[in-house]
């Protein structure tokens, strides 16, 4: 039998008060018993009933799969919820649009939707010139058309009758500006834009001022020809910019004040400007001299006054005066100041330009090309210049040609005064001799004659085979000796270019033409007077030939070297070099010379020195000049001239100096 044991039981007793303090009797934490799931039992149950569960619908296989998928992939459920919210919001927007669509279209209080508007005069039903835009009223705003096709479509949609531009409402610009802008109709889709997108702001509609659109080109600044190297007075400094100042004011009454713009144009650069026409000028500029005087001192110009009869206005103003033509024509007489070279300013064609400086060409006017390629004279296409000739040089190349011959230069320096060692034809010229410079200067009547070849003398006047304009008239009127024998030179041809030149009366310069074997007249051509003339051989001999060696005081015609030698040749070797103003070029054969070549500028040296040259005065040429130099004296003949000495010829029928006053001969009077 098992041994019995005594077990002592003990318990601790706590009072209610103590237990309440020790333990929390509230239900803050509840613990649910964990539910026991028998997975095998669930599977067995599913296997027994799976064929009894419907495939689709409530409590179906489909529902089980869907619930399981949502449990396994919760993000799919979230995406579906987002789609639901988006579709709900879209539905709300569509409902709002439907509500708005069911409302009547907004309309302007004066012009119904579908009304066609245009800027114009309602009293005459005519549009304003240059304002072709048509607007259609659409939901209370005016909308313009991008093209006529869209306009026609909208016009047809609104069932407008009549011609294509009939049934238009013409409004003034303020009336049009009072109607709100709508977006322009650029395509068919723009016709159905929602009301929320229809509004626009294109600014006000204003009259565009009348302008001339000018394409300008700068050549540079014109500079005075200080050294008198050119035919004209100016050359172009093509390193300095041109300046143009013009009034800018695009629209009338738009609240934007006019401004004077300044543009600086580099040489060779082209710039387009909009110059206001007279009709487009703001009131403060129209005929207001004080405004123009701010920008240019008109008192510095040389003014030529041209008077016109009433009813005739300057041709240059025809397109500029506009509505004020009648006002100008009502004047009894008016004067137009003329300053060649300026087409801008208060009294010129382009009144919207207030100042211009430099040689500036107009290449285009309102997109129409003009200029040197056209048949117009240069004066038609410049805006500003001091010299209206077609071309001004910017430098000297010293290889220019005139009438097909190389130019002869007076001074060997650039236009700015820079020296040049050698230049063509300089030779023995006196740089201070103005009349000589005229002969070699391009573009004048003297030079044109000297540079041309094959000059022919004719009964009708002087001309040449090159077509240069000659002079007309009876040459006898130029012959102070009263001689009338022209047979020798008429219809004969003579070279001028490169010929030696002699100093004639009054400082003029002469070319020897010919010798008449019958009358022994020496024929010359005066380049400065542009006429041929003749002199008796006795007079010419005293004027141009050297006094014979050993003669102290010449008193007989035989005291001078003969002027005619050989078979009526001119004795160039005995010419007094004091009467030689230019030795001529190396390849020139002097008229009536004996032998070949130019004695004063010979190709082959005759004295073992340097041969001649067209670019400098060689030692050989200088020696010849020095050897033949005999200064002229006027002692005893100070009060006589060629005309007064002619009276002694008439009295004695002789040109011999022995019949002249003591000390006088035909070479030492004051203008012989």
Give the tens place of pLDDT for each residue, 194-230: 888 999 999 888 777 778 899 999 999 999 888 777 7
Residues 65 and 125 in one domain: no
Residue 535 lies in a domain: yes
Inform me whether the pLDDT recorded for 313 exceeds 50.
no
Q: Find the range with the poorest average confidence among 131-145, 169-183, 599-613.
A: 599-613
Residue 295 lies in a domain: yes
| Between residues 556 and 11, the one the model is more confident about | 556
Domain-ending residue, one of 76, 103, 130: 103
Can you give the pLDDT at residue 242?
97
Quick one: DSSP state of residue 4?
Answer: P
Quick one: DSSP state of residue 409?
Answer: P
CB 382 within 8 A of CB 370: no
Residue 270 lies in a domain: yes
Can you give the pLDDT at residue 380?
56
Residues 470 and 504 in one domain: yes
Domain-ending residue, one of 200, 225, 242: 200
State the residue for tokens 């007077």. Answer: 529
What does each C-alpha distance from 24 to 14, 19, 21, 27, 394 come to in angstroms?
Answer: 15, 9, 8, 9, 116
Residue 14 lies in a domain: no
Residues 438 and 554 in one domain: yes
Residue 5 lies in a domain: no
Inform me whether the pLDDT recorded for 565 exceeds 50.
yes
pLDDT in tens, 258-295: 789 999 999 999 999 998 887 667 767 776 788 889 99
CA distance 504 to 485: 21
Can you give the pLDDT at residue 332?
33
For 364-391, what is the mean pLDDT?
Answer: 69
Q: Is 493 helix (H, G, I), strand (E, B) or coil?
A: strand
Q: Is 63 helix (H, G, I), strand (E, B) or coil?
A: helix
Percent of the chain scored above 90 by pLDDT?
27
Q: Is 355 helix (H, G, I), strand (E, B) or coil?
A: strand
pLDDT band, very low/low/confident/very high, at 337 (cuts 50, 70, 90)? very low
Q: For all residues of the chain together, what is the average pLDDT?
A: 78
Inform me whether the pLDDT recorded for 7 exceeds 70.
no
For 630-650, what is the mean pLDDT?
Answer: 80
CA distance 137 to 507: 88
CA distance 663 to 672: 14
State the residue for tokens 């565009």. Answer: 208
For 456-462, what is the mean pLDDT?
Answer: 52
Inform me whether the pLDDT recorded for 453 exceeds 80.
no
> Residue 306 corresponds to which tokens in the numbers above?
């041209």
* β-pair type (455-458, 461-464): antiparallel
The tally of CA atoms less than 13 A away on the side-chain side of residue 311 is: 0
Residue 410 lies in a domain: no
Domain-ending residue, one of 612, 631, 650: 631
Can you give the pLDDT at residue 668?
85
Helices 74-101, 61-72: crossing angle, 10 deg rounding: 100
Can you give the pLDDT at residue 333?
35
Residues 177 and 91 in one domain: no
Residues 349 and 488 in one domain: no
> Residue 372 corresponds to which tokens in the numbers above?
């040197």
Residues 242 and 223 in one domain: yes
Residues 593 and 469 in one domain: yes
Q: Where are the beta strands (DSSP E) in 398-543?
A: 401-402, 405-406, 455-458, 461-464, 493-494, 501-503, 509-515, 521-526, 531-536
Q: C-alpha angle with apex 278: 272 to 283, nearest 5 degrees? A: 115
Residues 167 and 225 in one domain: no
> Residue 517 corresponds to which tokens in the numbers above?
């074997």
Residues with Cβ within 8 Å of 293's Cβ and at least 6 positions away in sequence, in order, are: none
Q: How many CB atoms lie within 10 A of CB 20?
A: 11
Percent of the chain scored above 70 by pLDDT?
76
Inform me whether the pLDDT recorded for 424 exceeds 80.
yes
Nearest to 502 by CA among 446, 426, 579, 449: 579
Give pTM, 2 decimals: 0.51
State the residue for tokens 């012959």. Answer: 479
Q: With 0-12 CB in 10 A as exposed, 13-18 as middle and 19+ as buried, what is 478? A: middle
Residues 482 and 612 in one domain: yes
pLDDT band, very low/low/confident/very high, at 100 (cuts 50, 70, 90)? low
Q: How many CB atoms lie within 10 A of CB 542?
A: 26
Q: How many domains does the chain divide into? A: 4
CB 592 within 8 A of CB 568: yes
Can you give the pLDDT at residue 298?
86
Inform me whether the pLDDT recorded for 309 exceeds 60.
no
For 85-104, what is the mean pLDDT?
Answer: 75
Residue 417 lies in a domain: no
Quick one: DSSP state of residue 569?
Answer: E
The range of the structural domain enclosing residue 79 comes to 46-103
pLDDT in tens, 517-551: 988 999 998 888 888 888 999 999 999 999 999 99
CA distance 513 to 352: 58
Can you give the pLDDT at residue 428?
92
Residues 223 and 188 in one domain: no
CA distance 460 to 332: 47
CA distance 76 to 169: 62
Inform me whether the pLDDT recorded for 164 exceeds 60.
yes
CA distance 516 to 411: 37
Residues 360 and 261 in one domain: yes
What does each C-alpha distance from 271 to 198, 239, 267, 557 come to in angstroms?
Answer: 40, 17, 11, 72
Can you give the pLDDT at residue 633?
64
Inform me whether the pLDDT recorded for 135 exceeds 90.
yes
Can you give the pLDDT at residue 579?
94
> Residue 317 corresponds to which tokens in the numbers above?
């103003």
CA distance 5 to 599: 177
> Residue 214 corresponds to which tokens in the numbers above?
């000018």
Can you give the pLDDT at residue 183?
94
Residues 491 and 554 in one domain: yes
Residue 78 lies in a domain: yes
Q: Is 82 helix (H, G, I), strand (E, B) or coil?
A: helix
């Amino acid at each position: 039998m098992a041994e019995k044991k005594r077990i002592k039981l003990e318990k601790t007793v706590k009072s209610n008060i103590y237990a309440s303090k020790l333990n929390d009797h509230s239900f803050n934490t509840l613990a649910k018993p964990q539910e026991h799931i028998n997975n095998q039992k669930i599977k067995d149950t599913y296997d027994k009933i799976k064929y009894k569960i419907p495939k689709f619908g409530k409590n179906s296989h489909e529902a089980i799969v869907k619930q399981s998928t949502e449990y396994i992939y919760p993000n799919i459920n979230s995406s579906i919820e987002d789609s639901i919210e988006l579709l709900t919001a879209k539905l709300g927007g569509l409902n709002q649009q439907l509500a708005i669509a069911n409302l009547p279209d907004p309309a302007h209080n004066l012009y119904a939707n579908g009304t066609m508007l245009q800027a114009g005069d309602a009293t005459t039903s005519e549009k304003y010139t240059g304002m072709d835009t048509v607007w259609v009223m659409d939901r209370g705003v005016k909308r313009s058309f991008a093209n006529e096709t869209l306009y026609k479509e909208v016009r047809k949609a609104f069932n407008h009758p009549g011609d294509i531009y009939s049934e238009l409402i013409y409004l003034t610009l303020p009336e049009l500006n009072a109607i709100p802008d709508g977006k322009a109709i650029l395509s068919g889709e723009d016709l159905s834009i929602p009301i929320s997108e229809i509004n626009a702001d294109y600014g006000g509609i204003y009259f565009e001022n009348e302008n001339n659109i000018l394409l300008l080109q700068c050549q540079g600044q014109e500079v005075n020809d200080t050294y008198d190297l050119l035919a004209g007075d100016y050359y172009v400094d093509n390193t300095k910019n041109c300046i143009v100042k013009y009034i800018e004011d695009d629209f009338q009454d738009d609240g934007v004040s006019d401004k004077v713009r300044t543009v600086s144009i580099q040489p060779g650069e082209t710039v387009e400007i909009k110059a206001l026409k007279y009709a487009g000028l703001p009131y403060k500029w129209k005929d207001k001299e004080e405004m123009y005087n701010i920008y240019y001192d008109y008192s510095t110009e040389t003014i030529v006054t041209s008077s016109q009869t009433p009813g005739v206005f300057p041709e240059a103003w025809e397109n500029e005066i506009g509505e004020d033509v009648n006002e100008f024509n009502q004047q009894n007489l008016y004067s137009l100041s003329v300053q060649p070279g300026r087409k801008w300013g208060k009294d010129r064609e382009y009144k919207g330009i207030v100042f211009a400086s430099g040689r500036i060409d107009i290449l285009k006017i309102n997109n129409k090309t003009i200029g040197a390629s056209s048949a117009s004279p240069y004066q038609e296409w410049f805006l500003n210049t001091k010299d209206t000739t077609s071309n001004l040089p910017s430098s000297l190349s010293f290889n220019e040609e005139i009438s097909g011959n190389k130019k002869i230069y007076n001074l060997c320096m650039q236009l700015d005064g820079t020296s040049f060692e050698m230049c063509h034809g300089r030779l023995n010229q006196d740089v201070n001799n103005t009349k000589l410079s005229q002969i070699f200067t391009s573009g004048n009547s003297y030079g044109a004659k000297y540079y041309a070849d094959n000059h022919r003398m004719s009964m009708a006047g002087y001309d040449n085979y090159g077509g240069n304009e000659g002079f007309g008239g009876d040459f006898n009127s130029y012959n102070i000796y009263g001689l009338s024998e022209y047979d020798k030179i008429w219809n004969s041809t003579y070279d001028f270019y490169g010929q030696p030149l002699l100093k004639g009366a009054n400082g003029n310069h002469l070319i020897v033409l010919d010798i008449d074997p019958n009358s022994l007249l020496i024929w010359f051509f005066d380049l400065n007077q542009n006429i041929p003339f003749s002199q008796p051989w006795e007079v010419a001999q005293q004027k141009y030939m050297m006094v014979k060696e050993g003669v102290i005081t010449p008193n007989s015609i035989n005291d001078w070297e003969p002027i005619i030698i050989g078979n009526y040749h001119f004795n160039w070797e005995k010419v007094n070099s004091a009467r030689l103003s230019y030795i001529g070029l190396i390849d020139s054969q002097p008229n009536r010379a004996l032998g070949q070549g130019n004695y004063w500028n010979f190709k082959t040296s005759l004295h073992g020195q340097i041969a001649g040259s067209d670019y400098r005065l060689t030692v050989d040429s200088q020696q010849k000049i020095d050897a033949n130099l005999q200064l002229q004296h006027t002692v005893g003949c100070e009060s006589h001239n060629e005309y007064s000495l002619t009276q002694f010829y008439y009295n004695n029928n002789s040109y011999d100096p022995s019949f002249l006053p003591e000390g006088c001969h035909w070479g030492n009077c004051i203008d012989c």
